[in-house]
Structure 1
Amino acid sequence: MAYASVQMFMEKLKQLIYSNDIPVINNPSIVCERPQFQILYEELGSMIQTLFNHEDQDLHNFEEVRKLKKRFIGAAEEAEDIVDIFLSAVHCRNIGYSPRSDVFQTSLHLEVVMRSIESIKKEFMTMNIDNMKMDSSLKTDRLQMQSAGASRNRSSLGSKKVVEEMVVGIDRDVEIIRDKLVEDGKKLDVVSIVGMGGIGKTTLAKKVFTDPFVVYHFHVRGWATVSQTYDKRDFFLRVLSSMDDQLKLEKATDFQLREMLHKRLLGKRYLIVIDDIWSTEAWDKLKLFFPNHNTGSRILLTSRLTEVASHAKSDGLIHHLQHLTEEECWELLCEKVFQGDECPKWLLEPGMQIAKNCHGLPLSVIVMAGVLAKEPRRKDVWLKISCSVHSYMASDEKGCLETIALSYHHLPLHLRDCFLYLGGFPEDYRFYSQELLWLWMAEGFIQEDGSQILKKIANGYLMDLVDRNLLIVENRYVLGDIYVCKVHDLVRQVCVEKGKEERFFLKIDSPPSNRLFGIIGKQNKKLRNWKKVITTHKPHRVVTYQEINIKRLSLPPTPSIRSFLSILHRMLNPENKTTKIQNSSKFFCSFARRRVLKPEKFFCSFALLRVLNLEKYESVDFSPGLALLVHLRHLNIWLSSFPTSICNLWNLQTLIVRTSSSSMVLPSNISDLVNLRHLGSNADLYLPSIEGPMKLLEVISKVVLGDGVDNFQKCFPGIKDLITTLYSDEENDFEVLHHLQSLALTGSGYSRRRSVEGELLRGEPNLGKNHIIIRFPATLKLLLLERCGLPWSDMSIIQALPNLEVLVLRENSFEGTLWEIGDEQFQRLKVLILMKLNIKQWEASSINFPCLERLDVKTCIDLEEIPLELGEISTLEFIYVNNCDASLLESLQKIRQEQDDVGNYELKIKVDGRYMPSYVPHHDD
């Protein structure tokens, strides 16, 4: 349990103490225990204030305090288990199910854990803080002396092996960095190279550092590797030694070293490379040593952390070093293995596969080149190696994994669980950011902040991992937020290895390997023994993404398990651009088909689950047993119908329901899900009536309101993201949704719907084409319209929206062949997407779109041209056109020519996947 999980437990206790409007917990057996909940809440709060929010922040660095924190979190975890087992027992009794008395206690026994908390508090109060500070100070002094002494034996270019020069794929990077360093500016400037460990930042910096023009341009050049622990004396020794390796520096004082550096830089145009810097604090100290006398001097930083580069110079060049392509990996591998000779034909296929499996990381290529150099050049040997690239990476402890692991060790505590969580997913898994954030929140990894909403904090954590180059962004939303991300294989391997140490996951594989990830490491166990492992080690998370068939295994109640993820393997196939699906339905199907094991008994074994992902199990109906999982926060499941028992799961934050039918009726007591924030489905969710508002719900997809529901505002007053269907004979008032930011509307082509005998039915088609009336809130940032059949004159309503940034118009969203905008403006519109519209003419000018950055026109086959004046929009960066008429292409060519004539080469135009080249005039010398 992380500190954030303790906070989540505190929120649960608060609801148990004060909430009277939740039927599940407003139960006499629970209410009578409120005094115990109150005492536990106060004791935990007191300890949080003492251990985590103490005014003396230095205390948190002491080993004794860290141990006490760990013990406290363990005690809080035990307390939560006791409370949750008690709640489950009460809940099971209320629904008529008799749980095992030896596991589910109907009495609340907190005496032992309360004594543990009291003992921790007393130990902290009796600690001798002054002695701890003195010991810490002496230890720091010794480490600094050791660091300074060790520096004398290091290379003048730092401790890294920069001699391993990588000469593939960075020529353009060298040009970009070099040109920025030698440009005309006189002020001291900072240029940064940022990227993940092993991607070649130091090699690129070395290439620039030794570039002949750079050597000629700067009077003085120096190099120092900082690494994770900054030491002032060590820095002086490194940078001065790199300038002149004949200097006698050992006996010089720190003051003398600084004076020597200052004299060498004063009045000179210098270049200093600061390699592998890890903290903004280190930069704040280092920058004091560099004089700025308008000589055109430069500092070149390399770092894994975007935050450090931005802090050093927010408006300077931050060059993000990209991974090598497969071709570049192969070229580098050949260069290292064959030293200029050609690769034999029989080794081409396995060699290219090895290069591909390095996933663009130069460090991986160099390691594998070292492996291949020692092996016979036989096809069978190389084929075997191509299947074991990850094993070689893992065995190279002082190389690849150790390099990547530095990033993990430098993570703040609140990010470590989020990072380790990535290791439970398959290789090449594509994470949809929204789903990942929901899982993090349900697991309790996100620390509450009263000034920010939970999802915003979680998104900040995601961005932090991206800025630290531990996550790779694959796709973004139109406004720039992360949509899909992935993890490099080596980074994932670090997650796996560190997960083993932390016992973070229990991974269930299929026979015959049956490796238990995060629990017993490399030992192979038969599947029948995994229940013994659970009993012994009490794992909190179980994950599987392979086919499992354990019909012969009877499962005991395992209250320690808090998460069960059966993960759908989403891996982008580069050949056909489709998604591979790997599921493991046999695991759960085997339980459901056994006569001796009913769904209720299965769920009793996992009664304390917080996270349950069963998105691919269509053939099993778990509805009867779901009512037992009262502690669930995240549920992703297939259902034939929506059972009212789900509404007893008052802890649910995220509910994703999938069905094979086109619609699903929601029960009127859906409002009992008082903590629900996200509700999604692949089918229409029909809501005939509702008993009360769902105050926390922020995201809901494909909802249709019934006759018994007045409007969205009464149902979902806090909604921020809404997808719904429009009907032609009614008003659609979204103006009252004061928090709504994203709205997707699809016209049905039908009049008012009705519910008959529990089935969702449509009315007759609206042949009269009544005008749809829509009112939008001023808060709206994204609007998507499809098949609404609106007249173009209604566009003035949308233009008036003061905060609209993205507008997507799909098939038949508006009727008519002419879109004439007039003089009105889209005040803040940044992205405009037109798709499958039947317009022929579009009359607009640059004044209509003062903030437009991107324009997409897709399959508008009748559109004759894009207005030429749109090319004059100063903010426009990108135009994308696909499957359109030849006359429209001619208008694009005119826009390209006109913008090139005024020197606007920054505007990118892409037609059917290919960029339209700029026209650059040639002048005679």
Structure 2
Amino acid sequence: MSDGLLFMHLLHIHLNDLLDSNSYSIALIKKEIGLVKEELEFIRSFFVNIDQERYKDLWTRVLDVAYEAKNVIDSIIIRDNGLLHLIFSLPITMKKIRLIKEDVSQLPEKIHKNKSLIVVNSPKKPVEGKSLTAGKISVGFEEDTDWIISKLTSGPKDLDVISITGMPGSGKTTLAYKVYNYKSVARRFDIHAWCTVGQEYDKRKLLEKVYNQVTGADSKLSENIDVADELRRHLFGKRYLVVLDDLWDTDTWDKLIRPFPLVENGSRIILTSREMEVALYGKRNTDPLKLRLLKSEESWELLEKRAFGEKICPDELLDVGKETAKNCKGLPLVADLIAGVIAGREKKKSVWLEVRNNLNSFILNSEVEVMKVIELSYDHLPHQLKPCFLHFASIPKDNASHKHLLKMDWLNEGLVERTDMKSVEEVMEVYLDNLISCSLVISFNEIGSSPTCQLHDLVHDFCLIKAKEGKLFERIISSAPSSSSDLMPRKVTVDYYTNVFGIHNFVPFGSKKKRCSSKHLYSLRITGDKLDNSLSDICHLRDLRLLRVLELCSSMVKHSLLNEICMLNHLRALHIVTEIKYLPLSFSNLSNLESLMVENDKEDMVLLPGIWDLVNLRVLSMDSCSFLDMDTEEPILITENIKLKNLRILDRLMLSYSKDTVDIFKRFPNLQQLIF
């Protein structure tokens, strides 16, 4: 992992989670884990505050022994040469850590003597406060905004296409979103729909997304229904506004335009594209709008407002601030990212000069140079926020994430450190606020019931590169080896499609060497076409003992595979498709499980008595479930004081009223959401 502090932070969370576990394999070495965690945290706390390059050799030794400690501890837990590691490797590794700690403990005295030592700004911590996202600051483009609104609310009665073009980062989507949500625009149209297309898209899924927005439904249409025809039928006779965001070529336009009827009632389509050719191809009455770049004074206005709010910039920062704004080259994305960097740092000239000098080295006339600005913004993130940001790499480009589901993923995958001072929900809210504040994450529907967020496509490209470099995430889309490295990423998503893998050629972890390294995998998600019953042999789930998250969305989980899953006692989140009626007795092994999602179309799953073993469960969502077997008259036997105190959400419950059922609800004292 190229970012050493990020690795050390994730290791700290991992060791904390192990110490909280009651697993037998961990109990054998819990004392040793505690000592390793304490000494590595002492070492990490020193290097957080200084420039690691100053002590490069020592920092390299620290990372080497940290990697070694993680490998040894994990190998003992998963029983990969466990006895050998327990007797020999662990004591040797712990001795190395103690020696490094002694060396580090001598360094603070040297800091005072060596005046030339470069001390990085005080440890960057997430900043609390809703003021960070109180409202997206918009600068420039007032005339363009008024022009687009006039084209949407007046003009010819026949269907018109309003195209917005410009280079990456020029604000096309931001402007489209701004006018799309204007009250005068919203009142004008009967139907509104937004569709982000991107380079790689599934036509049917895109049209289904528009269809669901048009009809207010949230379900899949059966395969034999022509979505385009259904969509056209619902749009006919209505005045509609549809946004097709981020189109890349004319073929895509041809494929997507068929469902939109040429009615003469003032309907409009907003199209955004990097390519002027696409905009001209889709033109009907109105010429495309090519976005200009921000003027230097507009970039400075944005920076000043983000850094000081309603206050005025001090005179000592004025010159360096305006020069920094000028070096943004008029790109709104760059100006917004730089504004996010300086807004979260000290208002000192030396700090602003550092940002200006970094920006001076970039020539912002290509995507590569814009990537460097994104990296500058990323480098200034507190290390606690970096794994949460890099998690977006696992979300397909141009896909928005519901904020509550995103935070649930962060928690399940061990990306957030639990503290005594705040609840984990409060910590995650601060983290997300900070990522939005620094403009790396875009927030949508903040006022609505389903707030979402996503990344600009260039930011997503950067995020994916960084996550792969750090061995945090990999997407497997074919049976060919995906990496020459023997080290399996922390999280793997397999998009299984038979036309790519072949029916009998699905081996996501390849060679024997790769299979061994996959034992250290933390998160596995398999999507796509339906897999046959050989999944348990292919994936060797029984060996993935450190898995925290398992999603099997494309395979019917039978009893044999479920029993194998029940051996994964570090699971925090499980999402499966199954036909079973009862949770097996072996489910009691999953005492760390916090989120259980089951798709069980053919059977109503009976929750009792197995549900009581899942004492850490926070979310329980099933297609249908009941407390007891409605086909029998057997009484419910519940231990007197047993409760699921952590359960917050119970989804799709089928209820049969009885005195016993009423008593059951008393066992969920902190339930916040109940869905029937």
- After TM superposition, the score normalised by the length of structure 1 is 0.43
Tell me the distance in 2 between the aligned counterparts of 1:720 and 1:112: 44
2:341 to 256, 278, 290: 278
Q: 2:490 aligns to what?
A: 540
Residues 596-646 of structure 1 show CA distances to partners (whole Å, capped at 9, x for unaligned) of x736x7224533322222123237662242133233222222232233323
Match of 1:397 in 2: 368
Cα pair distance change 1:135/1:120, threshold 3 Å:
same
Per-residue CA deviations over 1:837-869 (Å, capped at 9, x if unaligned) read xxxxxxxxxxxxxxxxxxxxxxxxxxxxxxxxx
The alignment partner of 1:637 has SS state of strand
Provide the C-alpha distance between the structure 1 equivalents of 2:545 and 2:148, rounded to a whole number of angstroms: 55
More strand, by proportion: 1
Please say if residues 541 and 561 of structure 1, whose CA atoms lie closer than 8 Å, have aligned partners that are also in contact. no
Change in CA separation of 1:728 and 1:679 when aligned onto 2, cut-off 3 Å: closer
Q: Which residue of 2 aligns with 1:9?
A: 14
Higher alpha-carbon deviation: 65-74 or 493-502: 65-74
Aligned to 1:155: none
Q: Within 1, Cα distance between the matches of 2:654 and 2:639? A: 13
- Give the letter for the 2:342 counterpart: S
Please tell me whether the aligned partners of residues 619 and 650 of structure 2 are also in contact (alpha carbons under 8 angstroms): no
1:648 aligned partner, one-letter code: N
Preserved CA contact (<8 Å) 1:665 1:686: yes
Amino acid of the structure 2 residue aligned with 1:421: H
CA distance in 1, matches of 2:314, 2:638: 67
In 1, are the aligned partners of 2:410 and 2:416 still within 8 Å (CA)? Answer: yes
Cα drift, residue 488 of structure 1? 2.4
Letter in 2 for 1:436: L
* Equivalent residues of 2:398, 2:454 under 8 A apart: yes
Residue in structure 2 matched with residue 622 of structure 1 by the alignment? 561
Unaligned runs of 5+ in 1: 90-100, 141-164, 175-195, 211-220, 243-272, 287-365, 368-394, 512-526, 569-582, 690-704, 747-925
Relative to 1, partners in 2 of residues 1:629 and 1:637: Cα closer, same or farther, differing over 3 Å?
Answer: same
Q: Which residue of 2 aligns with 1:684?
A: 625
Percent identity, please. Answer: 20
CA contact (8 A) 1:198 1:404 kept: no
Aligned residue in 1 for 2:464: 496
Q: 1:603 to 1:197 in 2, by over 3 A?
A: same
Match status 1:658 vs 2:595: no
Equivalent pair of 2:51/2:120 in contact (CA under 8 Å) = no
The corresponding residue for 2:405 is 435
Q: Distance in 2 between matches of 1:227 and 1:745?
A: 41
Equivalent residue letter for 1:278: V
Residue 570 (structure 2) aligned to one of 628, 631, 644: 631
Equivalent positions of 1:17-416 (< 5 A) are 25=24, 33=28, 36-49=29-42, 51-52=44-45, 59-64=49-54, 72=62, 75-76=65-66, 78-89=68-79, 107=86, 109-127=89-107, 129-130=110-111, 134-136=115-117, 169-171=144-146, 198-199=170-171, 206=295, 235-236=318-319, 276=339, 278-280=341-343, 284=347, 396-399=367-370, 401-416=371-386
Residue 716 (structure 1) aligned to one of 644, 647, 650? 644
Offset from partner CA, 1:77-99 (integer Å, 9 cap, x none)? 5434433433333xxxxxxxxxx
Tell me: CA distance 1:14–1:624, structure 2 relative to 1, closer, same or farther (3 Å): closer
Give the drift of 1:432. Answer: 3.0
SS in structure 2 of the partner of residue 427 of structure 1 = coil
Quick check: 1:88–1:104 contact (8 Å CA) kept in 2? Answer: no
Q: Give the distance between the partners of 1:681 and 1:409, measured in 2 at CA.
A: 41
SS at match of 2:115: helix
d(CA) in 1 for partners of 2:68 and 2:592? 19
Amino acid at match of 1:41: G
Shift of the alpha carbon at 1:121? 0.5
Opposite residue 586 of structure 2, the aligned amino acid is S
**CA, structure 1 residues 534+106, in 2 after alignment: closer, same or farther (shift >3 Å)?**
same
Work out whether residues 50 and 120 of structure 2, in 8 Å CA contact, stay in contact via their aligned partners in 1: no
Deviation of the 1:728 alpha carbon:
4.6
Asked if the contact 1:612–1:636 (Cα under 8 Å) also holds between the matched residues in 2, the reply is yes
Aligned partner letter, 1:6: L
Secondary structure in structure 1 of the residue aligned to 2:421: coil
1:223 CA displacement: 11
Residue 449 (structure 1) aligns with: 419
CA distance in 1, matches of 2:610, 2:477: 39
| 2:549 paired residue number | 611
Q: Distance in 1 between matches of 2:314 and 2:447?
A: 42
How big is each residue's C-alpha offset from its partner over 1:123-149, in whole Å with a ceiling of 9 and x where there is no partner?
A: 212336326852235999xxxxxxxxx
Report the Cα distance in structure 1 between the residues aligned to 2:645 and 2:70, rounded to whole angstroms. Answer: 32
1:562 aligns with 2:562: no
Aligned to 1:297: none
Higher relative contact order structure (alpha carbons within 8 Å, sequence separation ≥ 6)? 2
Q: Structure 1: how far apart are the matches of 2:667 and 2:302?
A: 58
Change (3 A) 1:171 1:647: same
Alpha-carbon distance in 1 for matches of 2:295, 2:643: 61
**Secondary structure of the residue that 1:110 maps to in structure 2?**
helix
Instruction: Indicate the RMSD between aligned Cα atoms, in angstroms.
Output: 5.0
CA deviation map 1:259-295 (0-9, x unaligned): xxxxxxxxxxxxxx99946334767558xxxxxxxxx
How far residue 554 of structure 1 moved from its aligned partner, in angstroms, is 5.7
Task: Kindly state the Cα deviation for residue 718 of structure 1 after the two structures are TM-superposed.
Answer: 4.0
Whole-Å separation in 2 of the counterparts to 1:476 and 1:729: 41
What is the DSSP-based 3-state SS (H/G/I as helix, E as strand, rest coil) of the residue aligned with 2:550? strand
Q: Is the 8 A contact 2:594 2:616 kept in 1?
A: yes
TM-superposed deviation, 1:663? 1.1
- Mapped to 2, the partners of 1:120 and 1:38 lie a distance apart of 20
Say whether residues 1:485 and 2:438 are aligned partners: no
Give how far 1:445 is off. 1.3
Residue 144 of structure 2 aligns with an amino acid whose one-letter code is G
More helix by share: 2
CA drift at 1:422: 0.9
Residues paired across the two proteins, number: 474
Distance 1:646 1:660, change over 3 A: same
How far apart are 1:417 and its partner, in Å? Answer: 1.2
- 1:462-861 alignment runs, 5 A limit: 462-475=432-445, 483-510=451-478, 527=480, 529-530=481-482, 533-535=484-486, 537-547=487-497, 548-549=501-502, 550-551=505-506, 555=512, 556-559=515-518, 561-566=520-525, 583-586=528-531, 589=532, 591-592=534-535, 598=537, 602-618=540-556, 622-641=561-580, 642-666=583-607, 668-686=609-627, 707-709=635-637, 714-723=642-651, 724-728=653-657, 730=659, 732=662, 740=670, 742-744=672-674, 746=676
Q: For each residue in 1:740-795, what CA deviation from the matched residue of structure 2 results, as whole angstroms up to 9, or x when unmatched?
A: 3624364xxxxxxxxxxxxxxxxxxxxxxxxxxxxxxxxxxxxxxxxxxxxxxxxx
| Deviation, structure 1 residue 474 | 4.1
Q: Please state how far the C-alpha of 1:447 moved relative to its aligned partner.
A: 1.7
Unaligned runs of 5+ in 2: 1-5, 122-139, 150-167, 175-290, 308-312, 326-335, 350-363
**What is the distance in 2 between the residues matched to 1:497 and 1:429?**
18
Aligned residues of 1:472 and 1:486 also touching (Cα < 8 A): yes
Deviations along 1:523-543, one digit per CA (max 9) or x if unpaired, are xxxx1x45x7352x3432222
Match of residue 136 from structure 2: none
| Cα distance, 1:46–1:222 mapped onto 2, change above 3 Å | closer
TM-score normalised to the size of structure 2? Answer: 0.57
Distance 1:644 1:431, change over 3 A: farther
1:309 equivalent in structure 2: none
- 1:712-750 deviations in Å (ceiling 9; x for gaps): 98422344334545445548469957963624364xxxx
One-letter amino acid of the structure 1 residue matched with residue 624 of structure 2: A
Q: Give the secondary-structure state (helix, strand or coil) at the position aligned to 1:414.
A: coil
Secondary structure of the corresponding residue to residue 592 of structure 2? coil
> What SS does the corresponding residue of 1:134 show, helix, strand or coil?
coil
Superposed displacement of residue 496, structure 1: 1.6
Task: Describe the superposition over 1:850-897 as per-residue Cα deviations: whole angstroms up to 9, x where unpaired.
Answer: xxxxxxxxxxxxxxxxxxxxxxxxxxxxxxxxxxxxxxxxxxxxxxxx
